[in-house]
Amino acid sequence: MEELELGDIIRKLRIERKMTQQDLMDKAYLTRSQIHYIEKNKRIPRKPTLENICFAFGISIGDLILSQYPLCSSTPNISSIEAPGATIG
């Protein structure tokens, strides 16, 4: 899975929700230049801006982060992990 930067994630979510930059501007109280710089990864949004963006998407900041790093659906089998030089007996 390709690792995306925050601006890439925001752009991806905006497009998935069929939102234009204008829609995001209106819902998150941002300017077009703010959205442009954030989506191009040229500016990292401060917490209040990020909260507004998440509000516009109807998600939490945690959901935004987890959209890039989803939790594993399975637990690794630790019995198959071996320490170097260890004997399992």
| CATH code of 48's domain | 1.10.260.40
Give domain status of residue 51, yes or no. Answer: yes
Looking at the 3D structure of the chain, how many domains does it have? Answer: 1
Domain containing 54 equals: 6-66
pLDDT score at 51: 97
Q: Tell me how far CA of residue 30 lies from CA of 7, 16, 35, 65, 76, in angstroms.
A: 14, 19, 7, 20, 43
In a domain, 74, yes or no: no
- Report pLDDT digits (tens) over 33-88: 999 999 999 999 999 999 999 999 999 999 988 877 665 554 455 454 555 565 55
pLDDT of residue 72: 52
Give pTM, 2 decimals: 0.73
What is the rounded CA–CA span in Å between residue 15 and residue 11? 6
- Decide: 67 and 13 in contact? Cβ < 8 Å: yes
